[in-house]
């Protein structure tokens, strides 16, 4: 009984475990703590993450949001038409040669930031583009031949106008020597060149109907601070609204489509999403040039260059589907079924001053094969090169890598009364495609992501094991000591009883000797 276990029990019983029931209570509390950690630790960590990422002026995450520490790139590929004359004169199929990439690095900054009372921030976005000839296939001065978008937009819009208007338009184009194809530099195609039709419109069109630009370029007016005023939720009051657009230029809905659901603006700009993303969630991105919310669905788990695990989200295959394949897209047909886009295309003319611009994925990825084969020179689409995707860190909702790939097409309508385009058939003519995005985030940002993803689960396991082990050891030890002490007390009580009984017998014997019984006489 004098072994190590006996000494330990004696020591415990004589000090802090003298009251054995206190030890049992402590042990039970430790076990309950382990169970609570197992069930509720994630809730605590999520609350910490929510507070950490919410957009509070002066915080680190606010600084990253306002001026992202990244250098996005946009790479553009132009479809250069190599047989424009044969196409117009002989009815030959158009042949295009994809040239590029022409690469620009971008600097993003949110300016004129104002904090509002309802948990939102309002700002303007500044984008500065810088040409990178070292990453490009050639200089901005490279010359390409492309469809004359202002002219073909005007002729296509006039198809259902009065005949005398179409004849008048033909005469004007004759005088101005406007042709269906233009020869311009890549820089001019992107950033603007003087177009005679736009110049004429500036002089003769009523002020309220004038276009807000004097030159034509696919990226005209985008190099600088945008006039669009965007209001987003900070997440301080409701983390489920983190980064969600509240208003765009003071409006909560678009005016273009036939239902409120399709006119919604309540997506994000794509840089952040509400945190704690599950694989079942549908993410939504709004960009003015897309003219709608773009849904993104989970595709697979991926590893990013900085070893931060991410979920890859891509547009579902039905996003640009025709109404026969996906009836819910009927809301994007403002003039009824005849105005619906072919499978794989999305009509953004309502956002482009009625120019018949159609968006698709590059090389008509996920579109009907017939669209790609309307012209020669476009290779079959490849998912690896032409898919649109976002790689998002699910815990914080931060975009780690993105490649937004879109192709710009012109829907040309044949108009026989305008001789310049009389031989130009009904066709979806590809203009260019681009991919815009980021490859990775700085180490300072990804280190925080790795910590949020990897450390809390390890802490949770350590706490569960530690609390449960300590509680179980104390419970077993105190129970053992209790049983041992109880047995010892029982033994002492039995020995004491025997001693008293023996003493009583001895005492009786002694009394009998001292007081012998009286004899008989």
41 inside domain = no
pLDDT band at 19 (very low <50, low <70, confident <90, very high): low
CA distances from 468 to 24, 32, 116, 427, 474 (A): 13, 8, 47, 71, 10
How far apart (Å, rounded) are the C-alpha atoms in residues 148 and 238?
Answer: 48
Q: Is 504 exposed, middle or buried (0-12, 13-18, 19+ CB in 10 A)?
A: exposed
Q: How confident is the model over 243-269, as a mean pLDDT?
A: 94
Q: Is the pLDDT of residue 88 over 60?
A: yes
Q: Is the pLDDT of residue 12 over 80?
A: no
pLDDT band at 492 (very low <50, low <70, confident <90, very high): very low
39 inside domain = no
Q: How confident is the model over 104-127, as a mean pLDDT?
A: 96
pLDDT of 297 reads 97
Residue from 347, 335, 334 nearest 411 by CA: 347
How far apart (Å, rounded) are the C-alpha atoms in residues 360 and 406?
Answer: 6
Point out the least confidently predicted range of 77-86, 193-202, 324-333, 464-473: 464-473
Q: How confident is the model over 473-489, as a mean pLDDT?
A: 68
pLDDT band at 249 (very low <50, low <70, confident <90, very high): very high
Torsions phi, psi of 66, nearest 5?
Answer: -70, -40
Q: Is the pLDDT of residue 494 over 60?
A: no
307 inside domain = yes
* Structural domain harbouring 395: 70-441
pLDDT of 248 reads 96
pLDDT band at 358 (very low <50, low <70, confident <90, very high): very high
Q: Note whether 142 and 185 are within 8 A (CB).
A: yes
pLDDT band at 479 (very low <50, low <70, confident <90, very high): confident
Q: Is the pLDDT of residue 114 over 50?
A: yes
Residues 6+ apart with CB under 8 A from 352: none
pLDDT of 521 reads 40
pLDDT of 24 reads 72
In the chain, the N- to C-terminal Cα span, in Å, equals 63
64 inside domain = no
How far apart (Å, rounded) are the C-alpha atoms in residues 242 and 224?
Answer: 26
Q: Is 302 exposed, middle or buried (0-12, 13-18, 19+ CB in 10 A)?
A: middle
pLDDT tens-digit map of 408-437: 999 998 888 888 888 899 999 999 999 999
pLDDT of 520 reads 45
pLDDT of 241 reads 95
Q: How confident is the model over 480-488, as a mean pLDDT?
A: 65
CA 114 to mean position of chain CA atoms? 24
Question: Across the chain, how many H-helices and E-strands are there?
Answer: 11, 16
191 inside domain = yes
CA distances from 483 to 87, 477, 487, 489 (A): 101, 10, 6, 10
- Tell me how crowded residue 307 is: count the other CB atoms within 10 A of its CB: 10
Residues 6+ apart with CB under 8 A from 194: 214, 215
Element housing 466 (H / E): helix 443-514
pLDDT of 390 reads 96
Q: How confident is the model over 156-182, as a mean pLDDT?
A: 83
255 inside domain = yes
Angular region, 364: left φ>0, alpha ψ -120 to 50, beta rest: left
Q: Note whether 466 and 93 are within 8 A (CB).
A: no
Q: How confident is the model over 265-283, as a mean pLDDT?
A: 95
Q: How confident is the model over 42-53, as a mean pLDDT?
A: 78
Q: What percent of the chain has pLDDT over 90?
A: 55
pLDDT of 147 reads 96
19 inside domain = no
pLDDT band at 29 (very low <50, low <70, confident <90, very high): confident
The DSSP secondary structure of 81-118, one letter per residue, reads ES-HHHHHHT-PPPBEEEEEEEEEEEEEEEEEEEE-TT
pLDDT of 6 reads 55
Instruction: Please count the structural domains in the chain.
Output: 1
CA distances from 34 to 37, 451, 455 (A): 5, 23, 18
Q: Note whether 344 and 371 are within 8 A (CB).
A: yes
User: Could you identify the residue written with the tokens 């130009």?
Assistant: 424
Q: Note whether 265 and 293 are within 8 A (CB).
A: yes
Q: How confident is the model over 200-209, as a mean pLDDT?
A: 64
How far apart (Å, rounded) are the C-alpha atoms in residues 128 and 104?
Answer: 9
| DSSP 8-state class, residue 18 | S
pLDDT band at 1 (very low <50, low <70, confident <90, very high): very low
- Rounded to 5°, the CA angle 442-443-449 comes to 100
User: Could you identify the residue written with the tokens 């950033």?
Assistant: 191
Mean pLDDT of all residues belonging to the chain: 85
Element housing 189 (H / E): helix 186-191
Tokens of 191: 């950033």
Residue from 340, 272, 13 nearest 121 by CA: 272
How far apart (Å, rounded) are the C-alpha atoms in residues 136 and 131?
Answer: 9
Q: How confident is the model over 92-114, as a mean pLDDT?
A: 96
Angle between helices 163-176 and 196-204 (to 10 degrees): 120
pLDDT of 206 reads 58
Q: Is the pLDDT of residue 376 over 80?
A: yes
Residues 6+ apart with CB under 8 A from 75: 100, 101, 102, 103, 135, 434, 435, 436
Q: Which is more confident, 461 or 308?
A: 308
Prior bond of 343 cis (ω within 30°): no
pLDDT of 307 reads 80
pLDDT of 79 reads 98
Tokens of 260: 């409120």
pLDDT of 344 reads 95
Residues 6+ apart with CB under 8 A from 466: 34
Q: How confident is the model over 120-126, as a mean pLDDT?
A: 96
């Amino acid at each position: 009984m004098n072994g190590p276990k006996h000494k330990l029990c004696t020591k415990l019983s004589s000090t802090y475990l003298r009251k054995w029931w206190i030890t049992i209570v402590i042990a039970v509390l430790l076990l309950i703590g382990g169970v609570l950690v197992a069930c509720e630790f994630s809730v605590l960590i999520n609350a910490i993450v929510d507070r950490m990422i919410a957009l509070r002026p002066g915080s680190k995450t606010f600084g990253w949001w306002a001026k992202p520490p990244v250098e996005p790139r946009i790479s553009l590929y132009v479809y250069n038409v190599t047989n424009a004359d044969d196409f117009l004169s002989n009815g030959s199929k158009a042949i295009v040669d994809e040239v590029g990439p022409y690469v620009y690095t971008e600097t993003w900054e949110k300016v004129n930031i104002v904090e509002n009372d309802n948990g939102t921030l309002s700002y303007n976005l500044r984008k500065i583009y810088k040409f990178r000839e070292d990453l490009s296939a050639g200089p901005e001065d490279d010359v390409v031949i492309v469809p004359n978008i202002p002219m073909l937009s005007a002729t296509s819009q006039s198809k259902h106008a009065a005949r005398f208007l179409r004849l008048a338009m033909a005469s004007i184009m004759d005088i101005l020597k406007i042709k269906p194809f233009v020869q311009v530099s890549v820089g001019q195609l992107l950033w603007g060149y003087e177009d005679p039709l736009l110049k004429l419109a500036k002089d003769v069109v009523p002020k309220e109907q004038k276009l807000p630009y004097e030159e034509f370029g696919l990226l005209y007016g985008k190099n600088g601070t945008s006039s669009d005023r965007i209001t987003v939720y900070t997440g301080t009051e409701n983390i489920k609204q983190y980064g969600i657009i509240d208003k765009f230029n003071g409006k909560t809905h678009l005016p273009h489509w036939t239902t409120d659901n399709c006119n919604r603006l309540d997506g994000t700009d794509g840089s952040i999403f509400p945190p704690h993303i599950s694989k079942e969630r549908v993410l939504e991105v709004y960009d003015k040039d897309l003219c709608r919310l773009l849904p993104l669905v989970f595709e697979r788990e991926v590893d990013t260059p900085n070893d931060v695990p991410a979920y890859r989200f891509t547009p579902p295959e039905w996003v640009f589907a025709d109404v026969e394949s996906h009836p819910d897209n009927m809301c994007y047909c403002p003039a009824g079924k005849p105005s619906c886009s072919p499978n794989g295309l999305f009509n953004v003319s309502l956002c482009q001053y009625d120019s018949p611009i159609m968006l698709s994925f590059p090389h008509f990825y996920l579109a009907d094969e017939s669209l790609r084969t309307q012209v020669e020179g476009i290779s079959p689409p490849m998912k690896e090169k032409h898919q649109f995707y976002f790689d998002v860190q699910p815990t914080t909702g931060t975009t780690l890598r993105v490649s937004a790939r879109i192709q710009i097409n012109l829907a040309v309508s044949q108009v026989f009364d305008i001789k310049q385009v009389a031989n130009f058939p009904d066709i979806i003519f590809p203009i260019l495609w681009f991919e815009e995005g980021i490859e990775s985030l700085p180490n300072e940002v990804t280190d925080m992501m790795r910590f949020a993803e990897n450390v809390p689960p390890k802490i949770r396991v350590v706490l569960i094991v530690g609390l449960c082990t300590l509680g179980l050891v104390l419970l077993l030890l105190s129970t053992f000591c209790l049983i041992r002490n109880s047995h010892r007390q029982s033994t002492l009580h039995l020995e004491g009883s025997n001693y008293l009984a023996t003493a009583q017998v001895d005492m009786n014997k002694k009394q009998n000797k001292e007081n012998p019984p009286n004899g008989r006489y």
